[in-house]
């Protein structure tokens, strides 16, 4: 899995995991979030449009990223989640915490 990164402003970032965000890739994603936060981009949007599959390890990586972003005064939001990702969020009730936004622009809005 690759994680693409765009930096729309000095405090925001859009991370796009491409492929399956599972146990295999959770560490890669977590490292990308850490690096982004450390560079001051504390408002992170994770664009899930190209994330084809999410498991509990990948969900854990999102939860960890959210916690670390908030520790730095920022936030982590998710956008454009597909059917399988939405199902995992709903079945674990984590859609209350990681509310799926319909678009990256909506998620980037203050």
Is the CB of 80 or the CB of 104 nearer to another protein? 80
Q: Where are the alpha helices (DSSP H) in 1-110?
A: 23-38, 56-71, 83-91, 104-108
For position 9 contacting another protein by CB under 8 A, the verdict is no
Do 30 and 58 meet the contact criterion of CB atoms below 8 Å apart? Answer: no
For position 84 contacting another protein by CB under 8 A, the verdict is yes
Q: Which stretch binds another protein (CB under 8 A): 8-16, 37-45, 89-97, 99-107?
A: 89-97
CA angle 81, 68, 84 (to 5 degrees): 20
For position 97 contacting another protein by CB under 8 A, the verdict is yes
Strand pairing report for 12-21 and 2-9 = antiparallel
Binding site for another protein (CB under 8 A): 20, 22-24, 53, 55-57, 59-61, 63-64, 67, 83-84, 87-88, 91-94, 96-97
């Amino acid at each position: 899995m690759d994680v693409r990164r765009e930096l729309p402003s000095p405090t925001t970032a859009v991370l796009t995991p491409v492929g399956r965000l599972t146990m295999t890739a959770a560490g890669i994603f977590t490292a990308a979030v850490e690096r982004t936060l450390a560079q001051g981009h504390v408002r992170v949007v994770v664009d899930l449009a190209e994330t084809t599959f999410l498991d509990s390890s990948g969900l854990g990586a999102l939860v960890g990223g959210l916690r670390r972003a908030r520790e730095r005064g920022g936030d982590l939001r998710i956008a454009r989640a597909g059917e399988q990702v939405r199902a995992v969020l709903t079945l674990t009730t984590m859609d209350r915490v990681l509310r799926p936004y319909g678009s990256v622009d909506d998620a980037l809005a203050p």
